[in-house]
Structure 1
């Protein structure tokens, strides 16, 4: 896991410009920073050393034939298996980066289908003068790009492009939609008009002098799902468990310490059970969880109960209300776009603690709900994408007339013949997963740590997603077959527990301990050109007086205030 950046095009100040770009995202790779250039192509890399810790594995890396140069962010989990297919290549390192480079040298872009991992990379073909860029299937690792004049610039973070000189202009449609519908833009969009992102599962090829980028979808999720057989329940359990075990094994490949994040929910419990089954006697594998000392939200009791049997060490990371203002400011600086509320602040404490303890890689349970239909709105059909709320999480009436005109609800693909799979597809590729992956990438990388998502192994997602609704939802219970599978591992109390949103006392703290701080931020935000001041202040007054069923819209205002005025 690292940071990549580049400038494609003749640039007399290219090296100095790229050095500034790499400095702005140095937190992503504290172990080494290097640049390669030939006067027309400038490639830079911030390295976080995970596999092959030697300097020989630093990047940019040149292929054995000298033709290709790569900068790569991510991990190829099945690199050892792929390496066995490349016996004619003379390897100089034991890194997954060199396997990726060798595979491209042998197969070109067709090699993408062989990869099991998270990745965003650029390979420069010196012979053809072409750039090849690709992003992993679900977009776990980021890739942003823009043009400055005739030069293409790319990076792992938006702020890096601003450092390069990209103009910081609001994408008014995305801002308006965020406040109107709670969405975060389409897969190619960002909150900034001049900054694009390469969608997950896409690549592009670019020749020097081209005027635009044309992304191409390489990951055919829909086609793969439609070809997947419907399995009998026992066979499905057996196949899925085997894939789960393999996914965990692959994601423990590292030359540094690996730990995992845990809450009291089913997904984290599954992760704990599988880690313990694979490494039953390894008590050096540490677990991490956050808490707030509020019994209404904390899951510490459940976490301690689960870990009691495994003897894995538990690191308890406390989010205190006094730390919230400073954390909001700091994390907003690293995110560049709106992010999740106080739970994201709490989650960041985990990565800070892990880094202090020299645990550089962490696993978590992201992806189960989307694959197995675990969210309540899959059954209630409210149209919301926020778990656990009974009222609209947004207040679009605060927008000015100008911005109301920009609001246009996104239309998502509906490639399946049933509502459930189309909702799951929306969450995987447009809403829940893209935003969660972005939040989590930034808060892990701000501490120089790597986050791995074993449940987002594409083999697991395709298998679960493709099965009939009856094995996902039964008698009002989401993730039904997964729960049945886990009864033997976890017992009924955990396996059959209802889905709970992972929460903090955000609503309460905003209206009490943080009242003065929140009020000052909202008053500041109410002066922006986005909103009607009197409407914002009126709704905030209602919130203070007890209308607190949800606080998502209040968080939106705080978050946007940081983007507008504080960073």
Structure 2
């Protein structure tokens, strides 16, 4: 994942303003340590910090159309870029970047091309012919994006809040699945799948169709020109990602370049459940496995940095982000630049343990819809920012558009947790990969009950965090109380 920053219509085209935009863009350098670029047209600036995954040699940004009248800065991956290039055969491409198709699609279709993109993305496109611009964010919000407004009426768009907070009068989350158009003067939703209206679906459960949809989602994400691996906790979701990757890696371009031996990575406290389960899965699949351990104190020491990078104080997000943050640094040190991860499954299939309390299929479906819609504030944010802090990209096949459509079209009666029928949480996903002839995973792994990531890395991590918080709150309370008394006296 890269870092983008755009300042549009700021009524200031001086060298001083350019220097300021460059300074703010450098705050995103952790997201893209490989290169940086800036394009200025009058009072519009598009800057980019690049993490080179596809076409590392020539795919630097911003990207352009043939005559450079269209300028694009992008954070993301377009998995169907080769098919789109074939449809754009009359156009001349300058690079092998998967994101260059955006400039040419705009030439052909104007603003109505976003749904043609199969991938995850946040981008800003400037049309210098009339000084108009559009910005868009992927369907679920896998890539982070924020929008702000300067006191002079300028529009600011950034991959992280730290690119905006000092210079914007107001800024907010750029909503997933939306397009912002300067011509229209606001947002419009481009992503409108059938499930989004929360109408109860009625398609019968087809295990093979669900399996094929997930395999396709994983295979797409093997598009890479750099070393990669999988995050493997030993739970159902990450184990399925690893199993499908192992099964399909041999026939890919990535295998020709980097070999067919898949690397897997796990983090945890010494003796944690995840380390044990992940090692068992890795041995079964034959991956080159790397396990990293940390201490509770290591985690506590990293919290300040984790908050800086994730840009949230949400306790659940922070406690889960910290091990991922520590692991990402280790992974990057091995020369790996991309990993495939298992986020999103619990939201789609009702995998959290409280789904046992769902009274009926209607309530279960509504809850899964709401959980998916909120992912950009929680698991997507964690996975993206905890890895991007070290210039590592995380790809999430469970949040593939086509896979979500397949999974969310299933009659939710099949997702109901029914102990009387032997159905535990995420039974439809487990059953889809329960292959007796060619097993993807051992039965006890396939039907392992869910652990929260922050619990699976070691239960004492949560206890240690609680003790640390209580200790600091008790220390700060007298100081806060005395300060408030002083304020009252003044």
- The normalised TM-score by structure 1 is 0.76
**Partners of 2:332 and 2:391 within 8 A in 1:** yes
- For 2:488, the equivalent position in structure 1 comes to none
* CA distance 1:69–1:424, change in 2 (3 Å): same
**Contact 1:225/1:466 (CA < 8 Å) preserved in 2?**
no
Instruction: Give the equivalent residue in structure 2 for 1:112.
Output: 114
1:220 matched residue in structure 2: 192
- The partner residue of 1:269 within 216, 239, 248 is 239
CA contact (8 A) 2:145 2:159 kept: yes
Alpha carbons 1:362, 1:451 under 8 Å: kept: yes
**Aligned residue in 1 for 2:430:** 483
Which residue pairs with 1:401 in the alignment?
Answer: none
- The secondary structure found in structure 2 opposite 1:441 is helix
Counterpart in the other structure of 1:144: 146
Match of 1:313 in 2: 288
Separation in structure 1 between the aligned mates of residue 160 and residue 474 of structure 2, nearest angstrom: 27
Match of residue 470 from structure 1: 413
Matched, 1:355 2:306: no
Q: Is the 8 A contact 2:355 2:417 kept in 1?
A: no
Q: Distance in 1 between matches of 2:220 and 2:276?
A: 30
CA distance in 2, matches of 1:370, 1:417: 15
Q: Which moved more, 1:459-468 or 1:44-53?
A: 459-468
| Conserved 8 A contact 1:361-1:451 | yes
Shift of 1:284: 3.5
Query: Is 1:519 paired with 2:463?
Result: no
| Alpha-carbon distance between aligned partners in 2 of 1:329 and 1:362, rounded to the nearest angstrom | 24
Q: Does 1:496 align with 2:466?
A: no
Which consecutive residues of structure 1, in runs of 5 or more, have no partner in the other structure? Answer: 168-193, 383-415, 534-567
Aligned pairs for 1:47-86 (under 5 A) are: 47-54=50-57, 56-86=58-88
After superposition, the C-alpha distances for 1:171-200 in whole angstroms (9 at most, x for unaligned) are xxxxxxxxxxxxxxxxxxxxxxx2212100
Corresponding residue for 1:542? Answer: none
Q: 1:459 aligns with which of 383, 392, 402?
A: 402
Superposition deviation, residue 85 in structure 1 = 0.9
The 2-side partners of 1:239 and 1:527 are apart by: 60
Aligned to 1:389: none
The Cα shift of 1:306 comes to 1.1
The yes-or-no answer on 1:328 pairing with 2:274 is: no
User: Residues 482 and 528 (structure 1 numbering): CA distance in 2 closer, same or farther, change over 3 Å?
Assistant: farther
Structure 2 match to 1:8? 8
Residues 7-26 of structure 1: pairs in structure 2 closer than 5 A: 7-9=7-9, 10-11=11-12, 12=14, 13-26=16-29
Residue by residue over 1:32-84, the C-alpha shift from the partner in whole angstroms, topping out at 9 and shown as x without a partner, is 11111122211111011110112x32111221132210010111111112111
Alpha-carbon contact 2:41-2:128 (below 8 Å) kept: no
Quote the residue 1:157 is aligned against.
160
The answer to whether the Cα contact below 8 Å between 2:5 and 2:157 also exists between their aligned partners in 1 is yes
Deviations 1:295-327 (A, max 9, x none): 4xx222211111112221111121212212320
CA drift of 1:231 comes to 4.3
Which residue does the alignment assign to 2:181?
Answer: 205
- CA separation of 1:455 and 1:526: change in aligned 2, threshold 3 A: farther
State the aligned residue count: 459
**CA-CA distance at 1:7 after TM superposition:** 1.3
C-alpha contact 1:292 1:318 (8 A) present in aligned 2: yes
Give the secondary structure class of the aligned counterpart of 1:467: coil
Root mean square deviation of aligned Cα? 2.6
Residue deviations 1:354-374 (CA, integer Å, cap 9, x gap): 110111000101111111121
Q: Mapping of 1:240-389 within 5 angstroms?
A: 240-279=210-249, 282-295=259-272, 298-339=273-314, 340-381=317-358
Secondary structure, counterpart of 1:215 in structure 2: strand
Q: How far 1:454 sits from its partner (Å)?
A: 0.7
Residue pair 2:234, 2:274 contacting (<8 A) in 1 also: yes
| C-alpha distance in structure 1 between counterparts of 2:320 and 2:176, whole Å | 25
Counterpart Cα distance in 1 of 2:93 and 2:281: 44
How far residue 259 of structure 1 moved from its aligned partner, in angstroms, is 0.6
**For residues 289 and 202 of structure 1, what CA distance do their matches in structure 2 show?**
34
Structure 2: gaps spanning 5 or more residues? 486-490
How many angstroms apart in 1 are the aligned matches of 2:348 and 2:41?
45
| Cα distance in 2, alignment partners of residues 446 and 378 from structure 1 | 33
What's the offset of the Cα at 1:127? 1.4
- TM-score, normalised with respect to structure 2: 0.87
Deviations, residues 142-172 of structure 1 (Å, cap 9, x unaligned): 1112112122222111111124x236xxxxx
**What residue in structure 2 maps to residue 507 of structure 1?**
462
Structure 1 Cα separation of the partners of residues 386 and 474 of structure 2: 24
Structure 1 518/380 Cα, relative in aligned 2: closer, same or farther at 3 Å? same
CA contact (8 A) 1:225 1:463 kept: no
Is 1:373–1:478's contact at 8 Å kept on the other side of the alignment?
yes
**Displacement of 1:294 after TM fit?**
4.5
Match of 1:238 in 2: 208
Verify the 8 A CA contact 1:138 1:434 in the aligned structure 2: no
How far the C-alpha of 1:500 sits from its partner, in A, is 2.2
**Residue 229 of structure 1: how far off its partner (Å):** 7.5
Classify 1:104/1:375 alpha carbon distance in 2 versus 1 (closer, same or farther; 3 Å).
Answer: same
Q: 1:44 to 1:315 in 2, by over 3 A?
A: same
Residues 203 and 409, structure 2, Cα contact 8 Å, conserved in 1: no
Whether the aligned pair in 2 keeps the contact of 1:225 and 1:465 (CA below 8 Å) is: no
Q: Tell me, yes or no, if the aligned pair for 1:198 and 1:215 is still in contact at 8 Å.
A: no
Of residues 190, 196, 212 in structure 1, which corresponds to 2:172? 196
Q: How many angstroms does 1:525 deviate by?
A: 6.9
Deviations 1:191-230 (A, max 9, x none): xxx22121000011115xx9xx521111002467889974
